[in-house]
Chains A and B, each alone.
Chain A
């Protein structure tokens, strides 16, 4: 009566079946079980005198990045990760850094803080990267930065300009790459103080960290009269009522801390209403991007004609205006040879990050310390490093108390032929700032 019941046969079958299903999945599975080296103290490399702990083997340096790859913003920021991958590929082809190949693991954070945190956990705990590089965007970094710092993983050259991320007291492992927005506000206000003394200003800014920082930096330094201030939501579909209020205040200058899509709307409004104030705007509005948006169907040439005369800042070489620059041509060759994306403002910017990363790793290698702490220390000791694709005179300098990579900007005036005319002899360093 007591046979092996069919229940158990069936149960066993189900178990075997599910094991088979899972077996097909083995290759990514076991990585996270036992992080052998997370807690173990740094070991000295057999082949050289380089100390390593997590994410660095004799042949490989593993880096991680979370960045938006799908959804609305993916179309804008899509070139960033492929550029980094292509640049590292070219470095690896020449032998890599410290006789090790650079591997970059990219995860899609969908521009969401929650998913960014999840991906950061995956990269830090399961994939065990040595450092994060170039995590992009304010919301994703807000989600992941605190966790990454708790894990004591270097969080290098994040692509945002909100300077709360550069605060070494709260986030000692995070290093900002972009010029911060408050500094830029200071620089633009200084320029206006000097060259447009006595003129009135109206301010249009985006209602978030980005716009608020840029507005704050400007207002703190500006000495003249602000006659109107308007903000818009980053999700707004039209901003005509704000623009009408600005026009009614009749300012001489409009200071714009907006993203290109909204700056383009301002230009469209100015055109239909025959209104011609002096425009002063953030470096976020790269002339090429803005001209394409303003020109629309008429083409970028028409766009450049409209935005000519606007004052903005610049720090990277331009894909169009500086196309003949050897650095840009080198960049184009690296991209073409290594399967990178077509050259544009963002690929040039991304290569600046990649070059700084390689420089950091080389310093760490010279110091004989490729541990996580060693990589952070190396990043902090970068001094006067000039990524080839940045403007002449703009260098990366960091320090133990200085976690903001780029602090000087070149004020420029947009010309009708698409070039940018420098307004000062050399790039200007921020005078204000928090330190």
Chain B
């Protein structure tokens, strides 16, 4: 199946359950989540191996984006350096999985691969904890700059300590195969996809339960106003360090999974552009939103590889121009999202979901009543959308308050 068809079906069915009339409200969200998940679990049957590999990479970036979203979206700290934590997790896994053939002094047998995912998270989290304390003193752009230094220095350090890391040649590992006789039914790409999917879903569930609990509320309180949070008895410093650590763990886990997926880890595997793009991804997807992290991760993988082809279908755009500048597509998308959907794609979807069931129901009921009322509904919807644009919102609010 084509990847776009697959994604359109997934999003369409999931959204249909969320938006359709006559569904009890309690079933809407769980229903749409389960349908979406069902599609992704069924992907090995529906898609070919190359597309599965792309989706596996997307699942890994979703995990990173979720961690970064907890830090930036929920806690208000900006990091451009999460690529460094991804590399730390990735190299932890690569070193533990390495057999003695490559590293002279680590002559241990390779660890079971799933334990290295945990180890990757632990190591990256520990470094995140250590870095969280100096990060306390910095905020906003200063923290962003400091974290940028991290992602610039890590690849050099990896090259420097080449007895341990294999230098710029990288470390090669044996990729895991499906266990328990499943190998007959699942090839390696399919199995790795399921592993990365499981890791991503698990990390998303953890994020969901953390963010709706007391800790998540503390994150948001600190983001909104540190003074007010302190007044309510929240330890601001501890909250910020916790957020930094948790998000580093996410990046580390994702990195370790990336090693399994690629089968080789080199210092260039996560470069500075990728690191900055993690932030781009959550801005496009939606800050402070789990769905936003998912959308962001998928966009980050598919847009640079498939975007040029897609855009080249538009009239007046030559394929050559687009191929030279896949970054421009991402840039235009960021501008469009920031202008038209200030809370990202997920924000727009949530607002739609909050408004829609009623209007959709009215619209469908009016179909037999004739075209005129349907047109009125459509007009109403468009007006509602226009009023919600940032430059119109202020005007609308003042009209509402002061009368026309």
Interface residues of A (CB under 8 A from B): 5-7, 9-11, 14-15, 17-19, 21-22, 24-26, 28-30, 32-33, 69-71, 74, 108, 110-115, 117-119, 121-122, 125-126, 138-139, 142-143, 146-147, 162, 164, 207-209, 212, 233, 235
CB-defined contacts of A6 to chain B, threshold 8 Å:
20-22, 361, 364-365
The answer to the question of B266 belonging to the interface, with a C-beta cut-off of 8 Å to chain A, is yes
CB-defined contacts of B49 to chain A, threshold 8 Å:
121, 125
CB-defined contacts of B309 to chain A, threshold 8 Å:
28
The answer to the question of B378 belonging to the interface, with a C-beta cut-off of 8 Å to chain A, is no
9 contacts between A and B (CB under 8 A): A7-B21, A14-B15, A15-B13, A21-B5, A22-B2, A71-B327, A108-B323, A115-B305, A121-B53
Contact of A5 among B2, B22, B262 (CB under 8 A): B22
CB-defined contacts of A19 to chain B, threshold 8 Å:
5, 8
A146 touches B172 (CB 8 A): yes
With A22-B2, A22-B5, A146-B172 in contact, is A208–B54 under 8 Å at CB?
A: no
1/0 per residue, CB under 8 A from A, across B252-285: the answer is 0000001000111010111101100000000000
The answer to the question of B16 belonging to the interface, with a C-beta cut-off of 8 Å to chain A, is yes
> Which of B114-122, B163-171, B214-222 sits within the interface?
B163-171
Interface residues on chain B, size class: 35 or more
- Distance in angstroms between the alpha carbons of A33 and B4 in the assembled complex: 14
B13 touches A114 (CB 8 A): no
Contact of B266 among A18, A118, A142 (CB under 8 A): A142
Contact of B262 among A11, A22, A114 (CB under 8 A): A114
B169 touches A209 (CB 8 A): yes
- Distance in angstroms between the alpha carbons of A212 and B168 in the assembled complex: 10
A143 touches B264 (CB 8 A): yes
CB-defined contacts of A9 to chain B, threshold 8 Å:
364
A125 touches B262 (CB 8 A): no
A14 touches B12 (CB 8 A): yes
B168 touches A118 (CB 8 A): no
- Distance in angstroms between the alpha carbons of A110 and B310 in the assembled complex: 18
- Further contacts, 5 of them, CB under 8 A, given A139-B168, A209-B169: A9-B364, A18-B8, A25-B5, A71-B327, A114-B258
Residue of B nearest to A74 (CB): B324
B167 touches A32 (CB 8 A): no
B268 touches A71 (CB 8 A): no
Q: Interface of chain B, helix or strand or loop or mixed?
A: helix
B325 touches A70 (CB 8 A): yes
With A25-B5, A122-B50 in contact, is A142–B169 under 8 Å at CB?
A: yes
B273 touches A71 (CB 8 A): yes
The answer to the question of B313 belonging to the interface, with a C-beta cut-off of 8 Å to chain A, is yes
The answer to the question of B44 belonging to the interface, with a C-beta cut-off of 8 Å to chain A, is no
Contact of A33 among B19, B20, B48, B266 (CB under 8 A): B48
B266 touches A143 (CB 8 A): yes
A110 touches B364 (CB 8 A): no
- Distance in angstroms between the alpha carbons of A253 and B101 in the assembled complex: 38
Residue of B nearest to A16 (CB): B12
The answer to the question of B23 belonging to the interface, with a C-beta cut-off of 8 Å to chain A, is yes
- Distance in angstroms between the alpha carbons of A21 and B361 in the assembled complex: 24
CB-defined contacts of B23 to chain A, threshold 8 Å:
7
B50 touches A17 (CB 8 A): no
Contact of A143 among B15, B152, B262 (CB under 8 A): B262
The answer to the question of B156 belonging to the interface, with a C-beta cut-off of 8 Å to chain A, is yes
CB-defined contacts of A139 to chain B, threshold 8 Å:
168, 266, 268
- Distance in angstroms between the alpha carbons of A26 and B4 in the assembled complex: 10
Q: How close is B383's CB to chain A, nearest CB, in angstroms?
A: 22
In the A-B complex, list the 10 residue pairs whose CB atoms are closest, starting with the nearest: A22-B5, A18-B8, A29-B2, A139-B268, A208-B168, A14-B12, A32-B48, A18-B12, A7-B20, A121-B50
Q: How close is B169's CB to chain A, nearest CB, in angstroms?
A: 6
Q: How close is A129's CB to chain B, nearest CB, in angstroms?
A: 13
Contact of A11 among B16, B258, B327, B361 (CB under 8 A): B16
1/0 per residue, CB under 8 A from A, across B201-233: the answer is 000000000000000000000000000000000
B152 touches A235 (CB 8 A): yes
CB-defined contacts of A110 to chain B, threshold 8 Å:
273, 304
CB-defined contacts of B258 to chain A, threshold 8 Å:
114
Contact of B20 among A11, A74, A113, A235 (CB under 8 A): A11
Q: How close is A114's CB to chain B, nearest CB, in angstroms?
A: 5
CB-defined contacts of B37 to chain A, threshold 8 Å:
none
Q: How close is B186's CB to chain A, nearest CB, in angstroms?
A: 16
